[in-house]
């Protein structure tokens, strides 16, 4: 285990995640903690709990401001987060993070009522992210080894937008994160 990585994650979530999560009444930190809490509550493996906690870390490691989608910019946070995380974690954590935006596009294409359940900012970002998947994109997504985990993560992310919901603190999830670190990371 590399404590420096765990400390860095702690510091990002504690000191850089105070910004609003899109148009919701929750912060980036609250969103991350709620997603991780949902995964933990459902008895998910450590890797999916860590992915839920870290799925939007890409928003915290760029300098595009709090809401680039409002400016018509796709911050590609899933790719930024994936690139940052792959230095420390294996694909069971990083791939659901990388694929969670694709999972939104997938669900919009495969579930008739999914788009209607999206928040206004999620609809806006969907347009920037390519809209619902085509049939060939659906098939390619379903062929990926971690697509099911990404869909589960996406559902946690959609549900993790509840104002003033009590969750455990960041420190509660750090042992789980530490258990997921690659050897020598």
Is residue 28 within 8 A of residue 57, CB to CB? The reply is: no
20 strand-pairing partners: 27
pTM: 0.88
Q: What is the pLDDT of residues 100-149, one digit of tens each?
A: 999 999 999 999 999 998 888 788 888 888 899 999 999 999 999 999 99
C-alpha distance from residue 50 to each of 131, 134, 141 (Å)? 27, 30, 22
Indicate the range of 79-83, 84-88, 146-150 predicted with least confidence: 79-83
User: What is the rounded distance in angstroms from the CA atom of residue 14 to the CA atom of residue 61?
Assistant: 13
Q: Nearest Cα to 51, choosing from 163, 160, 154, 159?
A: 154
Question: Is CATH 3.90.76.10 the right assignment for the domain spanning 3-180?
Answer: no
Domain ranges of the chain: 3-180
Is residue 177 within 8 A of residue 50, CB to CB? The reply is: yes
């Amino acid at each position: 285990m590399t404590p420096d990585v765990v400390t860095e994650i702690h510091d990002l979530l504690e000191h850089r995640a105070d910004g609003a999560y899109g148009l919701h009444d929750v912060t980036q930190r609250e969103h991350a903690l709620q997603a991780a809490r949902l995964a933990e509550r459902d008895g998910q493996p450590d890797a999916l709990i860590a992915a839920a906690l870290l799925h939007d870390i890409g928003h915290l490691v760029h300098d595009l401001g709090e809401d680039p989608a409002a400016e018509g910019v796709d911050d590609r946070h899933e790719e930024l987060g994936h690139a940052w995380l792959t230095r420390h974690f294996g694909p069971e954590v990083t791939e659901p993070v990388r694929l969670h935006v694709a999972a939104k596009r997938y669900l919009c294409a495969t579930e008739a009522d999914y788009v209607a359940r999206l928040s206004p900012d999620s609809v806006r970002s969907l347009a920037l992210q390519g809209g619902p998947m085509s049939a060939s994109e659906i098939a390619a997504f379903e062929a990926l080894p971690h697509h099911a985990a990404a869909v589960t993560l996406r559902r946690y992310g959609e549900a993790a937008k509840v104002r003033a919901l009590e969750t455990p603190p960041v420190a509660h999830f750090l042992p789980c994160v530490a258990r997921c670190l690659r050897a020598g990371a």
